[in-house]
Structure 1
């Protein structure tokens, strides 16, 4: 058995939700409250409905009210499944006041609902007819849960093998005999259930004959409507495909517009070239990009070879400005020396005027010395201003010597006049000498600093430094001019390449746009043809439905329904009698068969499963049919037989899995490979046993369809590499 598709029109949180399933493993990985358990209950409800088996008390399951639609809508499911090489579509309305179930055989959608009888719950036993399993037995076997079997007593009678008849067997055999007597053996007997059912069938058959003519017309119209419906469905699928083509065309058009806009901006880096390469729609376009890249790579670099030593222009200019300031201070210092010399000369002249005529004659020699010193100082200043520092220094030294001699001579002549000139001489001479000395030291320091600076630049003096500076600046300006020309040339070349690239690219884009416009015209025309045909089909179906309504459809349907109901009741009685007889015969052999054939095989299979998923930690399992198939395991290290409840939580989960898989394998062999459902079953598994168990499930998925619901990521991490090896599997996302 394989479930292909489930539609939950209204079930719990799901509304108009459709799910398609793979034949192998179907993984539903989502957090809690995402609707995983609701989907599992929806599958079971779609297959079996929501009524109880083996009715005791309430007719409906406790989950009935829990999974009523949250929204305002019908409590409705549709499921498509394959069984025994046939595909069935089962449609259920689950609301109590309008409960209904209809089954169709694909692909013709032939309705088979009336082929199946209703049980005492007024439920048609579609799956029980197909599989021989009630809902309770189906969930016990296929839904791997951490709880005991809910219908163990119906899976295999709890009998014991003794020579005398078991009391339970005798009780069941007596009840079977009473039921067989009430049903009867012949259809013509008047007082039996079979006789009454046969008479009712004859009556309803006569009533149905009078409506056959109208029914023939209705059948033809119904077949035509079914054909139109199939054609309409096919046309709507074509329209859906056209809609997808339209969406893809819009996406391509959007990308084309973006590429057209970007074709006016030449790519600036590798990321933009990568974008063009990814979005290229043809080999010609790729060649255009490759040619542009090649031409760009061939453009010469704008960098020129620098054979001159690197000169720090900012430092050169800073040192030049600093030298100008030093030269200015040097000139100001020499002017100050000249002023000091002139001041000393003027002071000597004033003292000579106050002396007597006899003293002036005696002082001619000192006066001559002072005049010479002044003349030498003036010449030193002029030499300094004329950029003759060596001569200027000599003259200033001579000035100092003459002034010193004049001063010594003047002291000799001035002793006589000490009372008159002593105070003035003592006030002026020390001050002038100190300032003279200080000025000389400052000038020497300026000369040394200037000389040290120009030597750093490889010059012997200030004039050589200025010449080198001018030469360096001229070379720098020449080199910058060459680089600018190279950059302009490179820019012109790149501009031409960009213009050629843009023109070639837009030519290709225009061809692509024209092709898209032709495709759009084609599917637009096809779309209009589909719409016209769909409108025509709708009109024809409306006309056919009107003709059907014109006939006495109510009486025909009622007559057919009553006849088929009578036939169904007769068949049910016949089948019930056969089933009771078979049950009576089978019941006597059930326990013997279990002990002889079923029990060893099931126990062996459960042991194999447990050994594989535990890595050989446990190898021997037994299922006890006398105690609702209770599970016992042999603890290998101590050789003790342990009941399931005495094992760890994780081991108990694995024992439940082994129990269900063993029973599942046995039942599948008797009927058809059944699916398996896991709803967060592996919570207590450790990492190693989880890997072993999932690997075993992948082996089972080759024959059985598996539904795995989980809210944890570790199952997905383990399954991802296993699921990729085959297209039989599918990972579902729940929005």
Structure 2
């Protein structure tokens, strides 16, 4: 068989992707996550439909959901392959669970013509063309890096394939199928504990019947005791019935209870009739009112709703305006404080500047006394000297006083500036920078105007609210006047008004019925005796005595009914005694038959297993010889490997001791498992089915990989090889060895 073309219409990450393969060795290179595994899963899915094996009901594997298309709603594809010189195309729609097998030459669907075809069997294409199930296909013909070891079920199927291959004289014989058939027969018979199977069901029925037979004697005794108890209870009942007679006191007590209940009913009926008569009167009066008055009433109802809505809206607006007014009032006083403090700082700052100028003037005018002092000092004029000295001392004193006042003023300015900055969270600036960059927050004309405007709005809202209240009072008075005409106090809604107007007839009928019932009650009961009965002051102890006797009678009746029911139940059980005994004898015969049949099946299973083990053990030496030869070549030194009858592996180490497969390196173990599978494929499956390897040589070194590639190239002369890899070294080795191959790059 040769796979010619894959058409991944919608599968996993691929959309309308066509991949062509050639005869012999095909190398498909792709980096991780490029879709290599998706491609060989597509091959498996087209042939086997992702259906779980060995299940009676249709179930899909996890791969069905895993490889849903990333884009698009379709989930389908096809494979073109060639076998026995004929080309076929398998088309599969994974969503609808439908598949078709076409003859590529004629384009016709040949599925129904194939032997064993069943549309419900999703695995049919693979089972027909490969002759094996999906489990064996994915475990043998697909070799993956992480799935090289074989599970127990795979080993069992391979052992069966070896048995079939050896038993050439019995071409139709399948040890695995025969064992499965015998095991199914054995399971169908079941065990004594499996109650749903024949043997267990019969055994369970017999056990129940034996228990029933054992209990029949107890049932007979219980029946006799029940009869005796029934007679005693019936005698007790006769005595109680003699005591059971209604006393006069009890009769009077019950009569009073009935009359009081009837009086309550009478009072309730009178109240209901009065209420209905009021409604009839209102309804009658309502019909005498003109339609214009009713329309006006309804209009007034609507007006009241509108007035209420306007009132709520204006009240909300007034509340919002009042909140804004309070905020403006607060801001006004806040800004006043800032303005006053700012002006005070500004006033002291200007005063400080004036002091500075005065000091400058004094320094300027101090030049004259200083010159006089110097002149008199050098000229010797004593009078002028003293005068100039006095003047100079006065100037110095004045300067000192001014400097002291200026320092005090500066400290005050600095303190007030700091206080203003801290209180109102202003930037930290000098007094000069503050006066230059931050003008006082005056209450501007716009704020004053807004304050006045809001006050006017609030006054307007008050006027409008007063007007709405007057309107509401007027409309309410009009409604009350209308209700007075129809003898109603509470305001009626439009729906209540309409209901009252239209229900006059039904109210009258109800009232008539209530009066009729009242008349019947008054005729049935003599209420004139009620006061008399109430005055009798009946003793409750007499009633309690009656109730005690009555309770005993009820209890006695309950026990008699239970005993009669139990006796009726026991009588048929006694009749079943003979029937149950005969049924137990029949069951013993059937149980013996199934036990003998089960022993025969177990003997047949043991014989087949013995024959199967003897047959496939003939292959063990050949597999061991092949493993030792090829592994010696791979290792570059002599190697002895042994594989047991359960595919368990061991090898001979340098100390001439056989070591289990757990001691092998992961790379060596992978190579051995690949060689075992290749041997089994060559021995068991003579048909030239394609072989798929998905990153199977990840843990194989360069030298051993070259030897394995030579072997694959050798078998690719008669078997198609699909080698999936994420590395370039396979391509490099094949090129160096001049081996022909078909290369594809994803």
Is the shorter-chain TM-score for this pair beyond 0.5, marking a shared fold?
Answer: no
The interval holding the TM-score normalised by the smaller chain is: 0.3 to 0.5
Q: What is the TM-score when the length of structure 1 is the normalising length?
A: 0.39
Q: What is the TM-score when the length of structure 2 is the normalising length?
A: 0.38
